[in-house]
């Protein structure tokens, strides 16, 4: 049984199709990233998966439970952080967490114990009795995370959980996501932060204009567009571009004080550069071979390349 199974989801708002035949399957135990540019359909998809929006077509199951046929049962299996968080400003940090725990049916002793553990993990123990209205954005988001994980959900769904956070809050949120995953929660998160997705996620789907355009591990998505690589090299003397004419070298471009040499055979190109440097008595100041990045794959996927 998969943790999340969304099949053929569709959603339109008037003449605008926001989500068009989107399917996502997330096995138990992983951290799944959902990437896409603004307006691509990420949040609409998340809202359908969590039962906030009813799809025009398609179905969603959380650990085998149909979200729209049995919403209460499904939601008890989930912890959700929506795009802008959900905390009560006129309650204290601890009161927010205790209230969320009560909604999830936890008994009083467990509520109090769990709230204390989470406040400590998120660095908020000293602010437990302070009203949330006095908190910074980062602290408020930490309380949103606390409320979502208080019942140790089997599936944790986070919509842009680190957007706009300070460095300290972002680190605490990411560490908590990893901790929950180690404790057994399957995680689905949307993010604009490509590096965050690269380091956190075992699998990623990219959505663009309402449709899934790619699904795979970060490394496999990078390799999708790894048809040419480049070498950056700088010399101690000026060189002419004609020096880089050789089999296997596609083109050479000057970037500041470095030459970027595009090639489909980096090893052979490095040997060639070393040989011409010796022949022409050139001093190599620096040389580095590029590696494909998830950001490059994302840009090309969402640009329709």
Which whole number is the average pLDDT over 264-290? 90
Pick the CATH number of 4-216 from 3.40.50.2300, 3.40.1160.10, 3.40.50.720, 3.40.50.300: 3.40.50.300
Per-residue model confidence as pLDDT tens digits over 136-169: 999 999 999 999 999 999 999 999 899 888 999 9
CB atoms within 10 A of CB 14: 5
Q: Which fold has domain 224-302?
A: Alpha-Beta Plaits (3.30.70)
Q: What is the predicted pLDDT for the residue at 225?
A: 61
At 237 the pLDDT is 92
Average pLDDT, the chain: 91
Average pLDDT over residues 123-146: 96
- What pLDDT is recorded for position 263? 86
Least confident range from 23-37, 109-123, 247-261: namely 247-261
pLDDT digits (tens, 9 = 90+) for 252-264: 999 899 999 988 7
4-216 and 224-302 share one fold: no
pTM for this predicted structure: 0.77
Instruction: Note the pLDDT tens digit of each residue in 211-233.
Output: 999 999 988 887 766 555 789 99
The domain limits of the chain are 4-216, 224-302
pLDDT for the residue numbered 191 = 85
């Amino acid at each position: 049984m998969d943790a999340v199974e969304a099949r053929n989801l569709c959603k339109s708002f008037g003449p605008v199709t926001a989500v068009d035949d989107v399917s996502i399957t997330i096995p138990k135990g992983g951290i799944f990233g959902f990437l896409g540019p603004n307006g691509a359909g990420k949040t609409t998809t998340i809202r359908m998966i969590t039962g906030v929006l009813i799809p025009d077509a398609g179905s969603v199951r959380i650990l085998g439970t149909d979200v729209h046929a049995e919403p209460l049962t499904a939601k008890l299996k989930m912890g959700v952080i929506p795009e802008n968080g959900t905390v009560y400003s006129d309650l204290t940090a601890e009161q927010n967490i205790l209230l969320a725990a009560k909604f999830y049916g936890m008994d009083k002793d467990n509520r109090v114990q769990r709230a204390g553990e989470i406040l400590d993990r998120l660095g908020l123990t000293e602010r437990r009795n302070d009203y949330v209205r006095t908190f910074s954005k980062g602290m408020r988001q930490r309380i949103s995370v606390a409320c979502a994980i208080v019942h140790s959900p089997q599936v944790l769904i986070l919509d842009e959980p680190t957007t706009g956070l300070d460095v300290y809050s972002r680190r605490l949120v990411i560490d908590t996501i990893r901790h929950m995953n180690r404790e057994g929660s399957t995680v689905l998160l949307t993010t604009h932060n490509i590096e965050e997705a690269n380091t956190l996620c075992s699998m990623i789907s990219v959505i663009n204009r309402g449709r899934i355009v790619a699904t795979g591990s970060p490394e496999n998505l990078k390799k999708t567009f790894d048809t040419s690589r480049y070498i950056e090299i700088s010399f101690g003397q000026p060189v002419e571009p004609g020096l880089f004419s050789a089999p296997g070298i596609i083109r050479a471009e000057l970037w500041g004080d470095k030459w970027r040499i595009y090639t489909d055979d980096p090893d052979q190109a490095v040997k060639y550069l070393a040989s011409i440097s010796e022949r022409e008595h050139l001093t190599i100041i620096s040389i580095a071979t590029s590696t494909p990045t998830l950001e490059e794959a994302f840009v090309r996927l969402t640009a329709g390349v």
